Amino acid sequence: MERVLGSLWKLTTFVGLSILVIPAAVHATTAAPSAPAPGSDGTAAGVVFAIAILALLVVTGIAVKLHDRKRKVEDEVAALQGRISDAFFADRVLSGMSVTPTVRMPLRQNGLVTVRLTGTVPTPEARDAAIQLAMQAMEESQVSFQLEDRVLVDPMASRRAA
């Protein structure tokens, strides 16, 4: 058994070394390719390479601009949403209610901002107060908006919140 393994090891070593040595010897005997003539494929390849680099730069620039615009929109959304939430917390009636503003803004600068109010209040007056506060906060920010009212009136809401 050891003799068979020893023979197999010698054969594997010989094959491995011959794979490493033969290509080096073959490579040494081949002739070096000649340089292309001026004005042939070398110039065309350079132009293609330059166009590819330029296209890559343009695509990268567009991606950076879009990412920057998205981040700016997210910051504006957070500011508007915070402004409305602060108005709710400052109001004596609405501070204990579970009314949540959600602001969505399109990537286009001239798009319409959507404000969605969700939650539950105990009286229709509290619902109207929440809508009025949200509208005032948005009018102060001087953006065109639409308001989606998803506030439910549930007289039992005040008992559950307490």
pLDDT of residue 41: 63
Name the burial class of residue 93, with classes exposed (0-12), middle (13-18) and buried (19+) by CB atoms within 10 angstroms of its CB. Answer: middle
Confidence of residue 1 (pLDDT cuts 50, 70, 90): very low
Separate counts of helices (H) and strands (E) for the chain: 4, 3
pLDDT in tens, 20-55: 444 444 445 555 555 555 555 678 888 999 999 999
Average pLDDT over residues 119-131: 91
pLDDT of residue 107: 76
Higher pLDDT, residue 69 or 4: 69
Query: With a threshold of 0.85, does the pTM exceed it?
Result: no
Any idea where the domains of the chain sit in the sequence? 65-161
Does domain 65-161 bear CATH number 3.30.70?
yes
Higher pLDDT, residue 106 or 1: 106
Structural contact between residues 130 and 153, judged by C-beta atoms closer than 8 angstroms: no
